[in-house]
Structure 1
């Protein structure tokens, strides 16, 4: 594996390099557009680190490898959820730590800080599961000896406490109270009688409703991503 940084006529730098992919195939490639030689060489060092099965890389670097693989296997909405949890809850604590140096006591301390923030138990479980998932990935594919999340134990819980629900009489009373707000009345009628989720309701189109058969086809859900 070798590299050679060269300056192009337009003043930017490119890096030419040889490398061996995961199948053992030797490849030659290059990347252009770097402002400095140092920037080009740093990119190459980062690239080669991502190609290695090395558990000494920092979690922030390993997250990019994990995400690139998961983007081929998971829905965009799921990836966005993972990105938010990683960027907001995990990487600020562990991003600069080599994955093989993350310990159970470190995780316990992090869990304590998360629990002090007042998150719901189910969300705490989601946050913990994301850290555990990326470390499991490192165990399975990047020679990490063990997942410290197992020794640290989990936090939160998988299922929310049972929520109170309306009786038919209570719903009818509510329905009568909003009778003058036609759009809201129709929306709540659909939600109550079909069990539809709000995202599914918002994604409904006229073509999804068969008035002759009295059926509604639900095959999409509206989800907010990046504020849109």
Structure 2
């Protein structure tokens, strides 16, 4: 590396030469440093990162962590993680050398988070505190697992907050039908919510659907992608999980409705999005329709719960429901156990019968 002064601007720049992981010689530079000291400090940090030496600041190691991890998660997931780190972690630990951060420093940081209050006197939720701490723990874990940091101070300090199971709310079939009737004044909204309710797909999956995803002869829709907006750009990626890739069987009436909707769009191409709206549009329409229909307000995501509730009431098994909605059977059982009101009673009755059978058998053998 070398540090130079740009006489034209009066600022300093660093010329950085290095060998990448392929063994290729590369060169880059960083301009705009106000002083030579700042340029040299950046040069020192860059050398440490290139050599994977932990004698660097937490801020510099986060850049290493970002390079290592960013391409392994969805962009929307990384944006969420990155926001938490940049707003809640780097302001506190950014300038500290990562090897010098101890458990007591993490505890002091935790206490600041716990003491925070906004203008209304409200602190961070317990769930959010757990999320923030999990991000710090993940960064230190990466340093321990791959860069020989002796131990994870965040893990040693212990977590804060608890993960609170989100309250599950849902509509009955009658409530949904009232809502759907209120949506009929806007065909796009009506058909969008029909897909959400009767197929139990995620809103991002809905917004990524194209005509090519439907096979009306087989009465199916293929879920293979999801949509989100990031910094004003429309982004299509693979679904949330591997199991989320699935083919959903549609009821005949819904096939007819979607064919009607596609015809309304005139010359739409097979790979063009059917619902060119955003998640905020769906939320707005949800509010409008619920108020107009006189039904309770639930989240767009809760329509998924409403679909599962309907299938449970129709008597379908956990395995069958899990296959349709893209979840493991165990997860369906855990999340929706309270919607199986007769299961515990049936278990108790069968256990009673089993006990009596065995008792009779033993009695005959005496």
Secondary structure of the 2:224 match is coil
Aligned equivalent of 2:138: 133
- Shift in CA distance, 119/4, structure 1 to aligned 2, threshold 3 Å: closer
Check the 8 A contact 2:48/2:56 in 1, yes or no: yes
Check the 8 A contact 1:6/1:13 in 2, yes or no: yes
1-side partners of 2:109 and 2:2: how far apart?
42
**Cα RMSD, aligned residues only:** 3.2
Secondary structure of the 1:217 match is strand
Secondary structure of the 2:15 match is strand
Which structure would you say has the larger Rg? 2
Check the 8 A contact 1:125/1:158 in 2, yes or no: yes
Query: Within 5 Å, which residues of 2 pair with 1:1-228?
Result: 3-5=1-3, 15=15, 17=17, 29-32=26-29, 34=31, 38=36, 41-115=40-114, 116=116, 118-158=123-163, 160-228=165-233
- Shift in CA distance, 223/123, structure 1 to aligned 2, threshold 3 Å: farther
Normalising by structure 1, report the TM-score.
0.79
1:192 is displaced (CA, Å) by: 0.9
1:129 is displaced (CA, Å) by: 1.4
1:196 is displaced (CA, Å) by: 0.8
Secondary structure of the 2:189 match is helix
- Shift in CA distance, 74/146, structure 1 to aligned 2, threshold 3 Å: same
Name which of structure 1's ranges 81-90 and 40-49 shifts more when overlaid on structure 2. 40-49
Q: Which has the higher helix share?
A: 2
**1:164-195 residue CA offsets vs partner (Å, 9 max, x unmatched):** 11111221222223232322111111111111
Name which of structure 1's ranges 142-151 and 70-79 shifts more when overlaid on structure 2. 70-79
1:46 is displaced (CA, Å) by: 2.2
In the alignment, structure 1 segments of 5+ residues that lack a partner are: none
Aligned length, in residue pairs: 223
Check the 8 A contact 1:54/1:143 in 2, yes or no: no
1:28 is displaced (CA, Å) by: 5.7
Check the 8 A contact 2:126/2:161 in 1, yes or no: yes
1:107 is displaced (CA, Å) by: 2.6
2-side partners of 1:8 and 1:76: how far apart?
37
- Shift in CA distance, 30/210, structure 1 to aligned 2, threshold 3 Å: closer
